[in-house]
Chains A and B, each alone.
Chain A
């Protein structure tokens, strides 16, 4: 399709920007590096919006159904005829929606960082990493085959690692970046094995043919993969669950969520881009990409649903007790991604039953806006008050009016209060859960109430509550470059809910009509309002009620505050069990047996050479003697032996 070939430039512009800034940024063009980053992203974002316009309004539909379009295809590694790894661009509703989100949020973060990161020593490096991340993420969502997505998957992992460890002088940032990398890498091992299983049975890496082969029940590949079992479970389930483990690692689902709260050591705009709006939803995107296959395998889908709903509730409970504003937001991100996951898990393929899929994608869309707005707002607060602990903050609404309003809009959106965007997407999710699984619906309702509670706890703690004394900062509330993205994102947060996502992004491509039912909406909104009311009662003014409740709950509160000791469990398993049980014996074998064998070889060689090195004496006459000796020897040989 020739009118889509310009799409390659959407990921390539950030790549160029990364190369230029990475190679020349620190020495030659430091002052322009922000501008270069912003301009390249602006072009990408405009191209993405144009693509979306072209896809959704002009060319995308055929017979009323949105098509999967391979815009660009290029054979990258040819192993043998028919077996190759391709690089390609796949356009379908979710990838088009994702490129718009990624490039737009990334543009906002680039602009915000102009003010937030001003005066940093490694300013150009920061923008280079940010561009690298944007390139990788755009490449990920546009990937046309499962191996290509895996490569970009690792690239976003490495750029996330680089950006978390951006302040590498601080040991906690270094530890956090290592933790994030190791945990997600561990999960990616599952992903890789899953890819290998799926590719082995389908004999293809391409998404289109893979999905086609595994969704037609008569195809030989489908029969083969479902009849092969391992530990009593079919290989299809194994493959999908392993792929989901990769997605769960990237999306910080329980029990692989431990890296995300620590990832907040990175600069705040990075948290907004990578750890709230884009990279962490890659897991959701992956499941959505393979959704036709997932929808066939009910076991895998059940796992997705339960992991998602448990993570949603679990993270929401922890978020109520955290005192670091970025950590509250991090747990809220885990919780919201849990919503998207279980929404996919309760969905079915096609038609009205695909509401969960649409809801999940819709929530991904709205969440990207309000969560990045929350993070950028938190960034503005941290920039102003130089602290991200709740106890150091309070009463900022008069000092930071713009941030205050934007933050409030985002809080209302995430709490699901109409007419803000979060309301619409959460409605779809809850409706899908209601029709499919009442228990998950109950968990989701409870989580909605908790979400409203902890978000408004955060809001009141920052902007109301006690007054803090802040010595005058020279820059005022924030620079224009910081306020502008906040205002634009607020506008998006208000309006995104009205975007007709349900007629664009559906599981089978056919438009779905919107389901807004006042009688159904009443309960979730009431739950949200209860949460807000409770938070108002406890945190609007300074009082002793929160402490009283905490002391009544006692060890339950402390356990939640310590994040249910999950980190400690991991530390116990790694340090005590893995290090002692596997690490030390392996080190012993390495030191004594492997190294010992190598040392033996080296020592023997050294001894032999010490014995014979006298031949090379450096004396000319010895060499002459060898020379003539050789001639005599050869002469004797030719005279007597080879006559």
Chain B
């Protein structure tokens, strides 16, 4: 069985990052945008784990960082959903285009 090289893993994580970015820019629904942000975070996680595995196999720092990011992501999701609920209460919508009062 061939070893999976780091280039392939980085390719996956980069693809995941840009998919998330695309979703963040194009979707108007805030829940979908939240999901896109999760994709971006997970692509970072893959990088952490991959670099840990291939560059410093005897250390665990990258893995811990990945776990740390997952925790933060959970907290961030809770916050984001609270914001979304509040937005829905005030605007009867979760479309970001409807909440554009804060401008010039």
Residues on A lying within 8 angstroms of B by beta carbon are 613-614, 616-621, 624-625, 628
Contacts and interface: CB of A to CB of B under 8 A. Distances in A.
A619 B96 contact: yes
Given A618-B100, A625-B25, 18 more contacts: A613-B104, A614-B104, A617-B100, A617-B103, A618-B99, A618-B101, A618-B102, A618-B104, A619-B96, A619-B97, A619-B100, A619-B103, A620-B99, A621-B25, A621-B96, A624-B24, A624-B25, A628-B21
Contacts of A621: 24-25, 96
B40 to A, nearest CB: 10
Interface in B77-104: 96-97, 99-104
Nearest to B25: A621
8 contacts: A613-B104, A614-B104, A617-B103, A618-B99, A619-B103, A620-B96, A620-B99, A628-B21
A616 B103 contact: yes
Contacts of B104: 613-614, 616, 618
Nearest to A615: B104
Interface of B: 21, 24-25, 96-97, 99-104
A613 B21 CA distance: 26
Contacts of B100: 617-619
A449 B24 CA distance: 104
Contacts of A619: 96-97, 100, 103
A613 B24 CA distance: 24
A117 B104 CA distance: 60
Contacts of B25: 621, 624-625
Contacts of B99: 618, 620
Contacts of A625: 25
Contacts of A614: 104
Contacts of A628: 21
Nearest to A617: B103
A445 B97 CA distance: 97
A626 to B, nearest CB: 12
A614 B100 CA distance: 13
A227 B35 CA distance: 92
Nearest to B101: A618
A620 B25 CA distance: 9
A617 B25 CA distance: 15
Contacts of B21: 628
B48 to A, nearest CB: 19
A129 to B, nearest CB: 52
B24 A618 contact: no
B103 to A, nearest CB: 3
Nearest to B97: A619
Contacts of A618: 99-104
Nearest to A613: B104
Contacts of B102: 618
A533 B100 CA distance: 95
A616 B101 CA distance: 11
Contacts of A617: 100, 103
A624 B99 CA distance: 15
Nearest to A624: B24
Contacts of B24: 621, 624
Contacts of B97: 619
Nearest to B96: A620
B30 to A, nearest CB: 9
Contacts of A613: 104
A611 to B, nearest CB: 12
A618 B103 CA distance: 4
Contacts of A616: 103-104
Nearest to A628: B21
A449 B103 CA distance: 85
A620 B96 CA distance: 7
A622 to B, nearest CB: 10
Q: Which 9 A-B pairs have the closest CB atoms?
A: A618-B103, A618-B100, A613-B104, A616-B104, A620-B96, A618-B102, A616-B103, A619-B100, A617-B103
Contacts of A624: 24-25
A620 B99 CA distance: 9
B73 to A, nearest CB: 17
A135 to B, nearest CB: 55
A625 B25 CA distance: 7
Contacts of A620: 96, 99
B60 to A, nearest CB: 29
A617 B96 CA distance: 12
B31 to A, nearest CB: 14
